[in-house]
């Protein structure tokens, strides 16, 4: 036993040396080829993020189109959310073990297959299956981040990672106006034809252009851990997704949350008892990783609340006291400037990370988000004012999202970046799920009567915006506790 303890550190150092990013890949990558690699990986990330939110604006018309109930239609979102939560950490770990590019192609393949299934059917059961398969594609974004960190030229790594990370918000912002346009002029199946075509282009581009990341950790797949994690995440996210229809007093909600706590505790215990864990809990317990993931939950909360608090806000009738009676298309377009700002500020954030450090950059993004939500509370008389407030939130989100992968990669061993970025993406999704559950309950609990319909009150929206602003300020405070590491050390 003494001999084993003596050699373990050297074995660990050798493993890290074997899996550290190889200079040979980036050194032989021309600027033009690097741009092509970034384009195809970015396209894959964009279409995956697009697929996650593209159905939100058309949910209200689907029960009539599909001759089914609204609760059944909601499963088109819930199934995607649940499968995404399970697949992101698992595919991230498999990427570390067997190749990030390989698992990225698997994720995009799931997007294509799921999109094609939903393109050809009007049966609610088949559509739910297709959307569930699409959910596995959510792992494409963290896998793309980890892949580009190793294959891009060193001087372009920061901006490339920032761009891919920002796609989480950009895709959602573009999906809303796209869905609104399709809802007004075509059948909803067109949305899935678009994601199918774009997914195929991204898949072929990555297959033909992007090299595999150097170094793989190897090992065996922890099937027991994967099953425990999957069950725990489903029990956690299902009641959050269904809380608006089940109600918080439903025994199913609290029963599933209790089961989630138990399953995740058993999962954590199991990961400390095996040689090749699905999640390295020692790495996850590092203070910088804990603080970054906590901030990610808060950021995910703020971004999704901006989605549900903008499109539906401007579409509300003017008699509600705040809305503008806008169409689905205009409601989606109100989110577009914010999405474009996320895209434009990603390279700006990369430069800030290089000069000021990732913690300060992330804190700056969080404070900008808080300013945007303060504007949404107090300045909302005109449509352009609402759009400006939403755009400020987009600027802050783009800066913050760009800094998160930098923090994760800096404080994670090279052979674990896929799993670590996957878990960070999972925490962002958890924040979005919390926003959906809490925001939905707030909007449903405070309404005003407009004609024969009840719509959320202005006070309900203000409360959501205040919660988002407070979450952003708390995120800024948390990340400022992370020590800055110089770029050379990182």
Write phi, then psi, for 447 (nearest 5 degrees): -130, 165
- What is the mean predicted confidence (pLDDT) over 308-322? 85
**CB-based burial of residue 327 (10 Å sphere; 0-12 exposed, 13-18 middle, 19+ buried)?**
middle
Q: What is the mean pLDDT of the chain?
A: 83
**CB-based burial of residue 411 (10 Å sphere; 0-12 exposed, 13-18 middle, 19+ buried)?**
buried
* Beta strand pairing call for 447-450 and 453-456: antiparallel
d(CA 56, CA 76) in angstroms, rounded, equals 10
Q: What is the pLDDT of residue 206?
A: 95
Of the spans 281-285, 302-306, 467-471, which averages the highest pLDDT?
467-471
- What is the mean predicted confidence (pLDDT) over 297-320? 83
- Does pLDDT of 255 surpass 90? yes
| Structure-token pair, residue 205 | 């581009």
pLDDT band, residue 383 (cuts 50/70/90): very high
Q: What is the pLDDT of residue 485?
A: 59
Helix axes 154-185, 336-356, angle to 10 degrees: 170
pLDDT band, residue 254 (cuts 50/70/90): very high
- Does pLDDT of 229 surpass 90? no
- What is the mean predicted confidence (pLDDT) over 217-231? 81
pTM across the whole model: 0.80
Kindly report, residue by residue over 415-464, the tens digit of the pLDDT.
777 778 888 888 888 888 888 778 878 887 888 888 777 888 999 999 99
Q: What is the pLDDT of residue 471?
A: 92
pLDDT band, residue 375 (cuts 50/70/90): very high
Q: What is the pLDDT of residue 462?
A: 92
- Does pLDDT of 24 surpass 60? no
Q: What is the pLDDT of residue 395?
A: 92
**CB-based burial of residue 101 (10 Å sphere; 0-12 exposed, 13-18 middle, 19+ buried)?**
buried
pLDDT band, residue 329 (cuts 50/70/90): confident
Write phi, then psi, for 255 (nearest 5 degrees): -65, -45
d(CA 343, CA 359) in angstroms, rounded, equals 20
The enclosing H or E element of 448 equals: strand 447-450
- Does pLDDT of 313 surpass 70? yes
Contacts of 332 (CB under 8 A, 6+ apart): 57, 175, 176, 177, 178, 179, 180, 181, 311
Question: CB count, 10 Å around CB of 275?
Answer: 7
| Structure-token pair, residue 143 | 């896998």
d(CA 345, CA 282) in angstroms, rounded, equals 33
d(CA 117, CA 179) in angstroms, rounded, equals 18
Q: What is the percentage of the chain residues whose pLDDT exceeds 90?
A: 30
- Does pLDDT of 183 surpass 50? yes
- Does pLDDT of 146 surpass 80? yes
In this structure, is the dihedral angle defined by the CA atoms of residues 171, 310, 81 and 263, taken in order, positive or negative? positive
Q: What is the pLDDT of residue 11?
A: 37
Of the spans 113-117, 320-324, 393-397, which averages the highest pLDDT?
113-117
Question: CB count, 10 Å around CB of 177?
Answer: 21
d(CA 98, CA 220) in angstroms, rounded, equals 10
pLDDT band, residue 157 (cuts 50/70/90): confident
d(CA 221, CA 87) in angstroms, rounded, equals 14
pLDDT band, residue 136 (cuts 50/70/90): very high
Instruction: Please give the DSSP secondary-structure letter assigned to residue 487.
Output: T
Of the spans 72-86, 131-145, 333-347, 408-422, which averages the highest pLDDT?
131-145
Q: What is the pLDDT of residue 217?
A: 65
Q: What is the pLDDT of residue 163?
A: 85
Q: What is the pLDDT of residue 439?
A: 82
The enclosing H or E element of 449 equals: strand 447-450
d(CA 325, CA 318) in angstroms, rounded, equals 6
């Amino acid at each position: 036993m003494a001999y084993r303890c003596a050699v373990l550190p050297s074995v660990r150092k050798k493993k890290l040396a074997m899996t550290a990013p190889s200079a040979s890949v980036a050194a032989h990558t021309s600027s033009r080829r690097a741009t092509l690699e970034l384009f195809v990986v970015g396209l894959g990330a964009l279409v995956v993020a697009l697929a996650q939110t593209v159905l939100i604006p058309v949910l209200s018309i689907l029960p009539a189109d599909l001759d089914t109930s609204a609760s059944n239609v909601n499963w088109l979102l819930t199934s995607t959310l649940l499968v995404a939560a399970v697949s992101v950490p698992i595919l991230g770990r498999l990427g570390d073990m067997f190749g990030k590019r390989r698992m990225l192609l698997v994720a995009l393949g799931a997007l294509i297959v799921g999109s094609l299934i939903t393109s050809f059917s009007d049966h609610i059961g088949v559509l739910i299956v297709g959307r569930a398969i699409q959910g596995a594609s959510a792992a494409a974004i963290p896998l793309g981040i980890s892949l580009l960190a190793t294959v891009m030229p060193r001087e372009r790594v920061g901006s490339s990672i920032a761009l891919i990370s920002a796609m989480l918000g950009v895709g959602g912002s573009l999906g809303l106006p796209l869905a609104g346009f399709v809802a007004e002029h075509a059948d909803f199946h067109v949305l899935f034809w678009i994601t199918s075509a774009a997914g195929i282009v991204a898949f072929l581009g990555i297959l033909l252009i992007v090299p595999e990341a150097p170094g793989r950790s190897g090992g065996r797949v922890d099937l027991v851990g994967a099953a425990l994690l999957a069950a725990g995440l489903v029990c956690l996210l299902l009641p959050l997704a269904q809380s608006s229809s089940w109600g918080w007093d439903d025994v199913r909600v609290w029963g599933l949350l209790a089961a989630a706590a138990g399953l995740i505790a058993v999962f954590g215990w199991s990961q400390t008892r095996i040689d090749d864990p699905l999640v390295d809990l020692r790495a996850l317990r590092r203070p910088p990783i804990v603080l970054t993931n906590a901030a990610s939950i808060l950021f995910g909360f703020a971004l999704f609340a901006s989605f549900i608090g903008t499109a539906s806000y401007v579409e509300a009738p003017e008699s509600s006291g705040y809305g503008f009676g806008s169409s689905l298309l205009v409601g989606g377009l109100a989110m577009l400037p914010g999405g474009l700002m996320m895209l434009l500020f990603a390279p700006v954030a990369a430069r800030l990370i290089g000069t000021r450090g990732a913690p300060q950059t992330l804190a700056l993004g969080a404070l900008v988000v808080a300013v945007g939500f303060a504007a949404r509370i107090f300045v909302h008389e005109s449509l352009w004012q609402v759009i400006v407030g939403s755009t400020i939130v987009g600027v802050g989100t783009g800066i913050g999202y760009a800094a998160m992968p930098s923090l994760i990669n800096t404080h994670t061993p090279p052979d674990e970046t896929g799993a670590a970025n996957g878990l960070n993406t999972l925490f962002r999704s958890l924040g979005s799920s919390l926003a959906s559950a809490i925001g939905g309950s707030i909007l449903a609990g405070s309404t005003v009567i407009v004609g024969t319909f009840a719509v959320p009150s202005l006070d309900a929206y203000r409360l959501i915006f205040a919660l988002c602003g407070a979450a952003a300020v708390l995120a800024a405070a948390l990340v400022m506790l992370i020590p800055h590491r110089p770029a050379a050390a990182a």
